Structure 1
Amino acid sequence: MDPIGVERVQPVPWAEGDFWLLRRQNSPETPGRLGGPETVGAIGHWERAWQGAEVWEAGWGTLPEFQGGGLAAAAARRLISVVREERGRGGHPAVHAFPEVARAASNGGCRKAGCTLLGQPDLAYPKGNPIRSDDWYVDPRGPARSEGDW
């Protein structure tokens, strides 16, 4: 049984009309900073220099009314699949996510998405705001997991 649609998570490219989602994710009721039939959050990846190499950094947020049902982890697994395809076309050899250490749900999503915890670097997010983060890692060159392995 999948009451909130985890099995139907489908990433779609960011579009000009999606700014409302960014505003909503940065509202007081959404604990975080920062389409399809129903938008429940956002996930993305971008290039970043990390420890002397170019890697993909991933980040996501789920709207409050959809949190806690595994949607972020499902979206992260889909994103890793997309990055794995990009890797086949010359993409970067690593995907990292850097949630704040205190964000148990975000860190749980990384774990459920198949990421490996590498450490706790001191970063700044947003720029100028020091935070302690967990460094979660996935090697997109590795074999894809079947849905049952997650």
Structure 2
Amino acid sequence: MDAEKAEGVRLVPWAEGDFWLLERNNSPEMTEHLGGPESEEKLAGRHRRYVELATGQMYRVTLADGGETVGSVGFWERKWRDGTVWETGWGVLPEFQGRGLAALAARAVVEAARAEGRHRYLHAFPSVEHLASNSVCRRAGFMLLGQVDFEYPKGHWITSNDWRVDLAGDGDRAP
């Protein structure tokens, strides 16, 4: 895509002043596949977790040229199957969607998780109905493992695709 060649992204570690981005991402449009908007109290708790994340990292995604904030991405630990893995998720603000920026951010977060050296696998669990996020996984080099029942947010079960990248090498990467 031409936009991917013309634009790059930079990952900026999540900071105290980034709460506004959670508020922007909390619209019905942005949370349609995530159980809907959260209360201010839940957003404040999420912000605290992002700022204080002990393992993994949340980021504000900015355009490499100019520094304009376009969304968020991160990775964190999750118990999965018989072990612990990294999980990732992202959100790109509506006015920046359709430009390939989420795939660029997902590729960058793969490299950040790989550099941590803590877990072998990074997973993403988008709803099977969330075509855009599934496309991001494909374009970012994740391998589709299949469908799973997934709880997100707590108490809300969805059918998700389990996408994975093997951080120890390229064994899991899609062509």
What TM-score bracket applies, with the shorter chain setting the length? 0.7 to 0.9
Q: 2-side partners of 1:31 and 1:135: how far apart?
A: 19
**TM-score (ref. length: structure 1):** 0.86
Aligned to 1:124: 151
Deviation at 1:7, TM superposition (A): 3.7
Aligned to 1:52: 82
The answer to whether the Cα contact below 8 Å between 2:3 and 2:100 also exists between their aligned partners in 1 is no
State the SS of the aligned residue for 1:69. coil
Decide whether aligned partners of structure 1 residues 15 and 21 sit closer, same or farther in structure 2, where only a CA change above 3 A counts: same
Deviation at 1:2, TM superposition (A): 5.2
The answer to whether the Cα contact below 8 Å between 1:6 and 1:74 also exists between their aligned partners in 2 is no
Aligned to 2:123: 96
The 5-angstrom pairing of residues 28-43 of structure 1 reads: 28-32=28-32, 33=34, 35=60, 36=62, 37-43=67-73
Aligned to 1:25: 25
Aligned to 1:84: 114
Bigger share in strand? 2
CA RMSD, Structure 1 to Structure 2 (Å): 2.3
Q: Once the two structures are aligned, what percentage of the paired residues are identical?
A: 56
Aligned to 2:98: 68
Code of the aligned partner of 1:66 = F
Code of the aligned partner of 1:117 = L
Deviation at 1:67, TM superposition (A): 0.8
**TM-score (ref. length: structure 2):** 0.74
Q: 1-side partners of 2:4 and 2:140: how far apart?
A: 18
